[in-house]
Amino acid sequence: MMTEQPIGLAKWHEFVNTQNLHVLADALADDVLFRSPAIWKPKAGKAMTMLYLRSAVRVFEDFTYHRQFFGDNAVVLEFSARVGQLSVKGVDIIQFNAEGLIADFEVMVRPANGLQALVSAMAQQLASADASNIER
């Protein structure tokens, strides 16, 4: 069980509120893994994870966190959002490393039509992302 809030969790909430990419960079471990709701194979590293997380934050509308669940140096954050006309619910499953930085960020979304809309919207967002702004 977590006894205090990891720095990565505080920074993550600050990023969601501000969309400040420097804050997101400070939240993530260099070797972070990002596990998408759509694809099995994780994306590895800070640059790829930042690309996906900043795109996701732009794609979701009316994004709101609800219940919070605590594990062993890990949290689950429940959210609701819209993707276009569709309502989705989801969870962010965030594992922290010993320094409190985000080591593993997994997202699951329901229902199936909302997930499909998210996949389409993310593909567009990723295609239009300015890769030169991403730390490599």
Binding site for its own copies (CB under 8 A): 1, 35-40, 67-72, 74-76, 78, 87, 89-91, 93, 106-116, 119
- Rounded Cα distance between 16 and 36, Å, is 17
Residues 6+ apart with CB under 8 A from 95: 73, 74, 102, 103, 104, 105
Q: Do strands 102-110 and 28-35 pair parallel, antiparallel, or not at all (unpaired)?
A: parallel
Rounded least distance, CB 93 to its own copies, Å: 7
Query: Which C-beta is closer to its own copies: that of 25 or that of 43?
Result: 43
Query: Which C-beta is closer to its own copies: that of 26 or that of 106?
Result: 106
Rounded least distance, CB 80 to its own copies, Å: 11
Residues 6+ apart with CB under 8 A from 86: 113, 114, 117
Rounded least distance, CB 87 to its own copies, Å: 6
Query: Which C-beta is closer to its own copies: that of 19 or that of 39?
Result: 39
Query: Which C-beta is closer to its own copies: that of 13 or that of 89?
Result: 89
Rounded least distance, CB 18 to its own copies, Å: 26
Would you state the structure tokens that stand for residue 86, as one six-digit string?
């569709």
| Residue of 89, 88, 96, 100 lying closest to 67 (CA atoms) | 89
Residue 19: what residue type?
Q
